[in-house]
Structure 1
Amino acid sequence: MAERVRAALVAAARDLVGVSDTPRLDAELLMAHALGDTRETLLLRRLDEHAPAGFAALLARRLAHEPIAYITGSRDFWTIRLAVGPGALVPRADSETLVEAAVAHFAGSAGPARILDLGTGPGTLLLACLAEWPSATGLGIDLSDAALAFARGNGARLGIADRAEWRRGDWAAGVDERFDLVLANPPYIGTAEPLPAEVARFEPASALYAGSDGLDAYRELVPQLPALIAQSGVAMVEIGATQADSVAALARAAGFATTLHRDLAGRPRAIAMA
C-alpha cells in the first residue's frame, strides 16, 4: 500500500537532518511541489492522502544538496514569488533587509521614482521594490545572461515588465543616469571561505566569490555610486556579517555618510550610503 503523505514527511525530514537546517520545512515544500499545491493546503487538507510518486525523486535531489529553490523552481521574497534556477543566485530572506531599509528611508514620501539594481540576478531586489512602489520604474543590470532571462520572466509574470528594463553589463559601466534608489547585493565571499554544499556546488560562483577577502566587488562598485545617486537619493548595499567596517570605510572614502542595517538575526546586513 502506498505511503501516506503524513508518514512520508516524517521519513523525509529524518533523512534530511544531515543535509538541511530545516529538514521538516524542506520535506513539506518538496511534498507540496510534488502535489502541485501550496504548503498551507498540504498541511491543512492533504496529510492523509497517498504520497505522490514524484516525491521520491524530488527528495533524492535534495539529499544530493540541490537547493530547494532550484528543485521547486521558485522562491518567495518580500511580497513576491520569483522563478529561479541554475545560473541565478537564490534569493534569501536576509536580503529583504535592503528593502526594509529602503522603505524606512522613503517613509513619508512618494517613494523613489527611479531604481537601479546592480547585479540583479533573477530581478530580486528591483522587482520587490517595484512591487512596493507601483509608480516607480527601474533598471536591472547583470553580467549573467542566465540570470537576466529569469529576471525578464519574473517581471512579466508579476505584471511589472513595462516598468523594468534589463541590461547586460559590468556594474554601472555605461550608465549615464541618476537614480533615487540604488540597490546592490554583490558577491562578498572570500575565495577560501567554506560554504554549504548546496551553495558551493550549485549556485553561480560569480555571484558568490569576491577575492581573497570578499571585498573586491565593493572596491569596484562603491567608487561608481556617487555618480549614480540623485539628490536626496540613497544606495543600499548588502554586506557579509563581518564586513561592516571595511565597506563603511570604502563608502566614506567615496564621500558618503553611512548607516548600518541589521537583519532579523541581528547581524550586520546592509549599509545605506547617502
Structure 2
Amino acid sequence: MSGLADARIVRPDHTRSLALRRLAECFAAEGIPEGDARFLMLGVLDLRAVDLALHGGRALGSEGADRLEAAARRRVAGEPVARILGTWEFWGLPFRLSPETLVPRPDTETLVDATLETVSDPAVPLRILDLGTGSGCILVALLSALPNATGIGLDRSWNALRTARANALDNGVAHRTLFVAGDWCDALVGRFDRVVSNPPYIASAVIAGLDREVREHDPMAALDGGGDGLAAYRRIVDATAGGLLAPGGSLHLEIGYDQADAVTELGRKAGLRQTGITRDLAGHTRVASFVGRPDKAPA
C-alpha cells in the first residue's frame, strides 16, 4: 500500500462523488481496476447506481467513511471485492459467499447456458445433480430457469453446503433442493437427467503461480485438480457413466482452456459420447458436454 500508511483515502467530509474519484485514483496507482472502486462503494454503503448519480454531493459521514476506508485498504492489500462484500452476482441472482466457496465467475455462466440449451421444454420436471456445488450458484441458476426441476447439490465442505442452502433460500428455490455432504459421487444413488459440475481443474504445480487474489483467497480444495488437473474429472465421468445418468440424460463439465481433448478422452473411455464443446465469451473452451451411449444407457 505505497503512500497509504499515514494518509486516509476518504474522509467524513468527502462527498460520494469525491470519495469515488479518490478510490479510483488510489486503485489505479496500485494496479487495481478502477471499476472496483464503484463496486466497493455501492456494496459497502448499500447504494444503488442511481444514488450516486442523483445524490453524489452527499457527504460520507463518519460511519460511511470509516467503513469505506477499511474496505478500500483490504482491497489494496489484495483481497477481492467479492470477498470484502461477502456477496456476488451470478446469472442475475445474488449469492452469499464464504471462505469455502469460490466467487462465481461470468465464465461459469457458460455452463448454465450449455445445460439449458439441452432442455427443449423448461416446464419438464428434471432431476439435476450439481457435483462440488460450492455456493450453489450453478444449481440455483438452473432451478430458477426450470420451474419444475429439482436438484441435489453435493460438496465435501459443510460450510459450503450451509452457504449453498442459504443461497437457495434467498433465491426462492430451497423447496426444490437438497444439499448433501460427500466425496464426489460416493454418497449418491439414483438417476439424474442432468449432471453438472465446475470441479477443481488446476494442476497442483500451477497453483503457486496463480494471481495473488486467487491463490490467497480462494479455497484450495476448489482449485487443486491433482497432478494433471484431471483427478476430479476421472471420478465424475466414471460415476456418471456407471449409473448416475438417466436414459437420455446429459453431463456438463466446466473445463480449463487447454483441457478439452483430455476430458473428451476421459468421457470416451468411460462410455460417454461427447455432444459438444462450448466456448465462453472470451473464445476459450469452457464446457464439455456428454450423453450416455445407447448401449451403455441404464435399464
TM over 0.5: yes
1:261 aligns with 2:250: no
Give matches, 1:101-116, under 5 Å.
Answer: 101-108=114-121, 110-111=123-124, 113-116=126-129
Contact kept in structure 2, 1:112 and 1:181, CA below 8 Å:
no
Q: TM-score, normalised by structure 2?
A: 0.86
**Distance (whole Å) between structure 1 residues aligned to residue 106 and residue 184 of structure 2:** 23
Contact kept in structure 2, 1:9 and 1:24, CA below 8 Å:
no
Sort the Cα spacing of 1:79 and 1:34 in 2 relative to 1 into closer, same or farther, 3 A: closer
Aligned with 2:88: secondary structure? strand
Sort the Cα spacing of 1:42 and 1:64 in 2 relative to 1 into closer, same or farther, 3 A: farther
Q: Per-residue CA shift, 1:90-134, capped at 9, x if unaligned?
A: 111100001101111113464451100000001111111010101
Sort the Cα spacing of 1:17 and 1:188 in 2 relative to 1 into closer, same or farther, 3 A: farther
Q: Which moved more, 1:9-18 or 1:223-232?
A: 9-18
Which residue in 2 is equivalent to 1:208?
A: 223
Which residue in 1 is equivalent to 2:84?
A: 71
Aligned with 2:286: secondary structure? strand
Sort the Cα spacing of 1:17 and 1:242 in 2 relative to 1 into closer, same or farther, 3 A: farther
Which residue in 2 is equivalent to 1:198?
A: 213
Which residue in 2 is equivalent to 1:4?
A: 15
Which consecutive unaligned segments of at least 5 residues does structure 2 have? 1-11, 292-299
RMSD of aligned residue pairs (Cα, Å): 1.7
1:249 aligns with 2:242: no
Q: Which amino acid aligns with 1:267?
A: H
Give matches, 1:155-170, under 5 Å.
Answer: 155-170=168-183
Q: TM-score, normalised by structure 1?
A: 0.94
Sort the Cα spacing of 1:20 and 1:101 in 2 relative to 1 into closer, same or farther, 3 A: farther
Which residue in 1 is equivalent to 2:232?
A: 217
- Alignment counterpart, residue 54 of structure 2, candidates 45, 56, 78: 45
How far residue 46 of structure 1 moved from its aligned partner, in angstroms, is: 3.2
Contact kept in structure 2, 1:141 and 1:166, CA below 8 Å:
yes
**Distance (whole Å) between structure 2 residues aligned to residue 192 and residue 272 of structure 1:** 27
Q: Which amino acid aligns with 2:252?
A: M
Point out the structure with max Rg over C-alpha.
Answer: 2
1:228 aligns with 2:241: no
Give matches, 1:13-92, under 5 Å.
Answer: 13-17=24-28, 23-38=33-48, 40-51=49-60, 52-53=64-65, 54-92=67-105
**Distance (whole Å) between structure 2 residues aligned to residue 48 and residue 125 of structure 1:** 40
**Distance (whole Å) between structure 1 residues aligned to residue 218 and residue 160 of structure 2:** 11
Which consecutive unaligned segments of at least 5 residues does structure 1 have? none
Sort the Cα spacing of 1:209 and 1:4 in 2 relative to 1 into closer, same or farther, 3 A: same
Aligned with 1:117: secondary structure? strand
Q: Which amino acid aligns with 1:114?
A: R
Kindly tell me the number of residue pairs found equivalent between the two proteins: 272
Aligned-residue identity in percent:
40
Q: Which amino acid aligns with 1:120?
A: T
Sort the Cα spacing of 1:6 and 1:234 in 2 relative to 1 into closer, same or farther, 3 A: same
**Distance (whole Å) between structure 2 residues aligned to residue 184 and residue 207 of structure 1:** 11
Q: Per-residue CA shift, 1:191-242, capped at 9, x if unaligned?
A: 2222111111011100001112211111222111121111111111000111
Q: Which amino acid aligns with 2:80?
A: P
Contact kept in structure 1, 2:102 and 2:135, CA below 8 Å:
yes
Contact kept in structure 2, 1:19 and 1:65, CA below 8 Å:
no
Contact kept in structure 2, 1:88 and 1:147, CA below 8 Å:
yes
Q: Per-residue CA shift, 1:58-96, capped at 9, x if unaligned?
A: 111111111211211111111311111212111111000
